[in-house]
């Protein structure tokens, strides 16, 4: 994991990442999480500067809901198919709490982000809060999912 970078505070990260983290944090209010009470938001930065936001959307017919990362990445790919993703910032907060809580993408979200990297033939950074309350910058989705599913040529 030597490719990962750790930062004690959001304030020491680059202004672009700080901006995305703030946008994602503001967007947490749009999460629909009545079952888990765990609100997650993702901000996707495209190469042209557009920001696509997504939040987790739960459903009583589990697992019919969708994670914030998948919602944001799928939206970016659908709305801007010719634009590359540059960076994804993920934030989370427990219901009725003000402070952010650690959250890492699930395996399904990691796979979706990895396939987006492969489609665009360019890695993108993924930034999230660790269990040590440090900001982690992963250099790519591939770094988060070393044994990913892959398309098999038959």
List of residues 6+ apart from 89 with CB closer than 8 A? 17, 20, 21, 24, 42, 43, 45, 126, 127, 128
Is 99 marked active-site?
no
> Are the beta carbons of 65 and 108 closer than 8 angstroms?
no
Rounded to an integer, what distance in angstroms lies between the CA atom of residue 126 and that of residue 44? 9
Q: Which helix (H) or strand (E) holds 45?
A: strand 38-46
Catalytic annotation, pick one of 69, 99, 117, 125: 69
> Are the beta carbons of 24 and 53 closer than 8 angstroms?
yes
Q: Which of 154, 96, 95, 94 is nearest to 129 (CA)?
A: 94
Active site residues: 69
């Amino acid at each position: 994991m030597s490719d990962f970078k750790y930062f004690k505070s959001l304030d020491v990260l680059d202004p672009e990442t700080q901006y995305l983290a703030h946008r994602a944090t503001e967007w947490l209010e749009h999460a629909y999480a009545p079952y888990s009470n765990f609100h997650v938001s993702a901000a996707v930065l495209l190469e042209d500067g557009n920001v696509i936001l997504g939040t987790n959307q739960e459903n009583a017919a589990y697992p019919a809901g969708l994670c914030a990362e998948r919602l944001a990445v799928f939206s970016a790919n659908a709305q801007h198919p010719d634009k590359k993703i540059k960076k994804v910032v993920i934030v989370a907060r427990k219901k009725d709490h003000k402070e952010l809580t650690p959250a890492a993408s699930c395996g399904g979200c990691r796979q979706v982000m990895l396939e987006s990297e492969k489609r665009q033939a360019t890695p993108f950074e993924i930034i999230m809060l660790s269990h040590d309350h440090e900001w982690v910058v992963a250099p790519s989705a591939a770094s988060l999912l070393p044994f990913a599913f892959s398309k098999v040529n038959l």
